[in-house]
Amino acid sequence: MIELKYYLLISAALFSLGVFGVLTRRNAVNVLMGVELILNSANLNLVAFSRYSSSGIDGQMFAVFVIVVAAAEVAVALAIVLTLYRVLNTVNLDRADVLKR
């Protein structure tokens, strides 16, 4: 029987890696990958807690919704990235700088 804290450790690692990705990457798609890592870590937490900390399956339900929302979010994000790419020909966040005057 694996203890709860090991799952939390993995999740913490994923979360901080996600944060690292978000902070250090300048490519929109890459940032999205970081976000996916964060969402996965949260999901892992939810499922782990659902197993160890609650009697129901609330955590799993939450995770299902998170997965669905993540899919929708990525779809919209990529649509925006594509549109931006058409206008700018880059997805590098630093080059999307008209707004920074």
Partner 1 sequence: MSVTDVVFILTAVVTVGSAVVVVVSRSLIYSVFSLLFTFFGVAVLYVFLGADFLAGAQVLIYVGGILVLLLFGVMLTHRLYNLNLTTERFQPIAGTLIAAAVFVSISLAAFKTKWKLVGDRELEPTTQQIGEAFLSSYLLPFEIASVLLLVALIGAAMLVRRRTDV
Partner 2 sequence: MNLGNLDSLTFFYPELILLGGILLVVISDIALKGLRNRVNPLLTLAALLLALFCTLQTDHGSAMTLFEGMLALDNFALFFKVFLLVAGILVLLGSLHSEELASVHRGEFHALLLAVTLGMLLMANSAHLVMLYLSLELVSLTSYIMVGYLRSDRLSNEASMKYILFGAVSTGAMLYGFSLLYGMTGSLDLFAIRDALLAQEVVGFNQVTLLLVVVLTTAGFGFKTAAVPFHFWCPDVYTGAPTPVTAFLSVAPKAAGFAILVRFFLSGLSQPAGEQWRFISGVDWPLVLIVVSVLTMTLGNIAALTQNNLKRMLAYSSIAHAGYILMGAVLLTGSGLKAMLVYLFVYLFMNLGAFFVVTVIFNSEKTFELQDYNGMFRRSPFLAIAMSIFLLSLIGIPPFAGFLGKLYIFGAVIDQGLYWFAVVGALNAAVAAFYYMRIMKHMILENDDRPPTPLRISTLNRALLILLLVPNIVLIVFWAPIDRWTANSITLFGGL
Query: Which is nearer to partner 1, 2 or 98 (by Cβ)?
Result: 2
Please work out, in degrees rounded to the nearest 5, the angle formed at the alpha carbon of residue 76 by the alpha carbons of 16 and 48: 40
The item of partner 1, partner 2, none sharing an interface with residue 66, based on CB under 5 to 8 Å by kind, is partner 2
Shortest reach from residue 100's CB to partner 1, in Å: 15
Residues 57-96 that bind partner 1 (CB under 8 A): 57, 60-61, 63-65, 67-76, 78-83, 85-86, 91-92, 94
- The partner residues of 76 in beta bridges, in order of sequence, read none
Determine phi and psi for 27, rounding to 5 degrees. -100, 130
- What the block records as the tokens of 55 is 């009697």
Shortest reach from residue 101's CB to partner 1, in Å: 20
Q: Are 10 and 2 in contact (CB under 8 A)?
A: no
Residues 6-25 that bind partner 2 (CB under 8 A): 8, 15, 18, 22
Residue type, 57: I
Tell me, by CB under 8 A, how many residues bind partner 2: 45
Say how many residues make up the chain.
101
Tell me, by CB under 8 A, how many residues bind partner 1: 71
